[in-house]
Structure 1
Amino acid sequence: METLVSTWSRTSQILPEKYVFPIGERPGPDEVPLCQNIPLIDLSADKSQSQTIEKILAACEEFGFFQVINHGVSEDLIDAAMKVVNDFYNMPDEDKAKVYSTDPSKDCRLFTSSYSYAKEELHFWRDNLRHPCHPLDECIHLWPEKPTNYRNVVGKYSLEVRKLSLRILELIREGLGLESGYFGEELTGSQLMSINHYPPCPDPSLSLGLPKHADPNVITLLLQGTVSGLQVFKNGQWLSVEPLPHAFVVNIGHQLQIISNGKLRSAEHRAVTNSKESRTSIVSFINPCPETIVEPAKSMINDCVPLYRPFMFKDFLKFYEEKKGDTKALMNVYKIKT
């Protein structure tokens, strides 16, 4: 528990050396410009589905991410979820200690920085609560018992966010021309909830909440809250993603890039900190089942060669952790050499 940033940083006014990143990796003092043309997609039922699909595919090809509004997840539930996760991080240390663990194999755990704090040369300025969500009735008993309404609220939230994720995947499926039912349980059978907490940082220009990376999964839905901190890397430049009330940021993961045979792209992004406010985000990852074989969809290689070789998802995750966010090095492992 003593390693949690939210525990020891309350009385610290100096950034420890282990949190200072090299010049080429740190955010620096310059303000990152706001991305003015991030695709904002309205999922209202009265919108033309064909036009919605067209906008989603265009966003996935150019940006690898977009934001959705009028998505069907109630604002009250979104507010309740954000409140209960903040209540979790505001609990006394003795209550959080019941969930804290340094064991990466533990299904539900609170930890700091990355997967293995003890093995890191540098640490990230974040604490993380992580647990599985699907099937809900098989994993909800693993979740924190406090706050007392955590399981009820986050359980309802995880179901709604999963439903929205599958809805977006179905629109992508149709747009790509994949067969009906393509994104079935094998490719979407795992859902992971990751709740990030970034306390105020003494020097945000030197530290990182999360480094440059792209997500290893199929699709990610991120609830930002009200405090800015998400940045996306596009055309060699970092751009800030403005938090929109009750909107979800949708990230395309590596698996969807591979399934589409490179037509869609996974988005590189990072999390930065600030010196005045804490920031909490709720992230839902939709993953394939560990034993699933992932490869380019056959309908995506009818008129061209496959760009990626088949692999088992659990093996991909192992390489992903080894490469520590180096997207080029990771994807080169799975690219077919021509």
Structure 2
Amino acid sequence: MSTLVSSWAKKVQAVPASYIQPKEKRPEDTAAPVCKDIPVVDLARVEGHDRYEVVQTIMKASQDFGIFQVINHGIPGELMNDTMSLFKEFFDMEAEEKAVYYSEDKTKSFRLYANPYSPKASKVDSWRDTLHHSCHPLEEKIQSWPEKPARYREVVGTYVLEVKNLSLRILDLICEGLGIELGYFGDELSKTQQFVVNHYPPCPDPSLVLGINGHYDSQILTLLQQEAYGLQIFNDGKWVGVEPLPDAFLIGINDQLEIISNGKLKSTFHRAVTNTSIARTSLASSIGPSWESIIELAKALVSESNPKLFKPISSKDYFDIYMAAAGGSKVSALETLKL
């Protein structure tokens, strides 16, 4: 059997044993109730009298859920559709064509792979294939990206630049909400960008598998484009679904932003489920600091009434702790840094 799920999933009538989750991790209800309270932020409003209200909505959503969705964000719908269509075309290619890009070498700037979320924590395979792109510096990294389907480098290169610019706009709004200087997250704290495409083929029994195990994201901020339902977050002691909105981006608070905000913004525990009828493809762009950067509470936030909650740590050291904990319980790796 091919390693890539997309190469054989349509041919099986039952879930292979290596993909069956232990009972305590199985999604009891793959169509968990959709959370209706996750805010949808209209970024067109930030240029007018509603800016303060928009910033406060972002802050409250980041505290209560760790996610929110944005519309009228400035990224052309045509570019979003072209990029999504391109990746659907990629995963529909013949197995032999995709196999050329398969690699388990994590140092590669571009690779296609299929594996559990955390091999250290789980022996169960995840029902997905993943494309990983390193994006900084783009002019260098893009040379390792595929040239097939046609216009791959052109379309994806344009897309990741647009998404990073949107990430920085949102981080400036978060700066306003936190009361720290605009541009705080520029340069070193947003130096790296990872672009990950997850593809979840239809599954004969979604109640037995997970596309991605429950986990937190380790960086500063993640922007997600999705068309089909599959994302769930753990909120108020239960899993709830996140409804995908046309032409919207879902914004996710990551662990290192929780550290910098001193716990005012919350990284959220989330997972992906599958379905029996359609393939789901999601596009996730995460920005974060260089390995050498020290992640700590923004100095402007320090006061007697707001003492540090977390020990400072380099981005690389935090990632090592994060990977050791990933795929385990709902206890965040951040717990190890609490003062």
| TM-score, normalization by structure 1 | 0.95
What SS does the corresponding residue of 1:66 show, helix, strand or coil? strand
What SS does the corresponding residue of 2:319 show, helix, strand or coil? helix
Tell me the CA shift for residue 94 of structure 1.
Answer: 2.2
Residue 14 in structure 1 maps to residue 14 in structure 2: yes
Map Cα deviations across residues 148-180 of structure 1 (whole Å, 9 max, x no partner). Answer: 211111111111110100000000011101123
Change (3 A) 1:14 1:23: same
Tell me the CA shift for residue 314 of structure 1.
Answer: 0.8
The residue identity in structure 2 corresponding to 1:91 is M
- Corresponding residue for 2:324? 322
- Corresponding residue for 1:33? 33
Q: Is the 8 A contact 1:104 1:116 kept in 2?
A: no
What SS does the corresponding residue of 1:44 show, helix, strand or coil? helix
Query: Any residues of structure 2 matched to 1:126-137 within 5 Å, and which?
Result: 126-137=128-139
What SS does the corresponding residue of 1:162 show, helix, strand or coil? helix
Query: Any residues of structure 2 matched to 1:225-240 within 5 Å, and which?
Result: 225=227, 227-240=228-241
Cα distance in 1 for partners of 2:322, 2:332 equals 9
Residue 64 in structure 1 maps to residue 66 in structure 2: yes
Q: Is the 8 A contact 2:102 2:113 kept in 1?
A: yes
Change (3 A) 1:239 1:137: same
Q: Is the 8 A contact 2:202 2:277 kept in 1?
A: yes
The residue identity in structure 1 corresponding to 2:147 is E
- Corresponding residue for 2:189? 187
The residue identity in structure 1 corresponding to 2:173 is L
Identity across matched positions, percent: 47
Tell me the CA shift for residue 118 of structure 1.
Answer: 9.9
Change (3 A) 1:118 1:219: closer
Map Cα deviations across residues 241-277 of structure 1 (whole Å, 9 max, x no partner). Answer: 1111010000000011000001110111100000111
Q: Is the 8 A contact 1:161 1:284 kept in 2?
A: yes
The residue identity in structure 2 corresponding to 1:13 is Q
Cα distance in 2 for partners of 1:142, 1:211 equals 29
Q: Is the 8 A contact 1:104 1:115 kept in 2?
A: no
Change (3 A) 1:124 1:231: same
What SS does the corresponding residue of 1:233 show, helix, strand or coil? strand
Change (3 A) 1:297 1:246: same
What SS does the corresponding residue of 1:24 show, helix, strand or coil? helix
What SS does the corresponding residue of 1:205 show, helix, strand or coil? helix
Figure out how many residues of one structure are paired with residues of the other and give that number. 335
Map Cα deviations across residues 254-307 of structure 1 (whole Å, 9 max, x no partner). Answer: 011000001110111100000111100000011111111101111222132200
Cα distance in 2 for partners of 1:120, 1:7 equals 23
Query: Alpha carbon RMSD of aligned pairs, Å?
Result: 1.7
- Corresponding residue for 2:75? 73
What SS does the corresponding residue of 1:84 show, helix, strand or coil? helix
Cα distance in 2 for partners of 1:209, 1:52 equals 33
- Corresponding residue for 2:43? 43
Cα distance in 2 for partners of 1:270, 1:113 equals 15
Map Cα deviations across residues 175-234 of structure 1 (whole Å, 9 max, x no partner). Answer: 101123311211000000000000011110010000111110100000012x11011110
In structure 2, list runs of 5 or more residues that go unmatched: none
Query: Any residues of structure 2 matched to 1:93-242 within 5 Å, and which?
Result: 93-114=95-116, 120-225=122-227, 227-242=228-243
- Corresponding residue for 1:2? 2
Change (3 A) 1:285 1:56: same
Cα distance in 2 for partners of 1:132, 1:35 equals 32
Tell me the CA shift for residue 109 of structure 1.
Answer: 0.5
Tell me the CA shift for residue 327 of structure 1.
Answer: 5.0
What SS does the corresponding residue of 2:252 show, helix, strand or coil? strand
| TM-score, normalization by structure 2 | 0.95
What SS does the corresponding residue of 2:69 show, helix, strand or coil? strand
The residue identity in structure 2 corresponding to 1:68 is V
Query: Any residues of structure 2 matched to 1:280-291 within 5 Å, and which?
Result: 280-291=281-292
Map Cα deviations across residues 83-125 of structure 1 (whole Å, 9 max, x no partner). Answer: 0111111112222122110222222100003367699511110
Q: Is the 8 A contact 1:102 1:116 kept in 2?
A: no
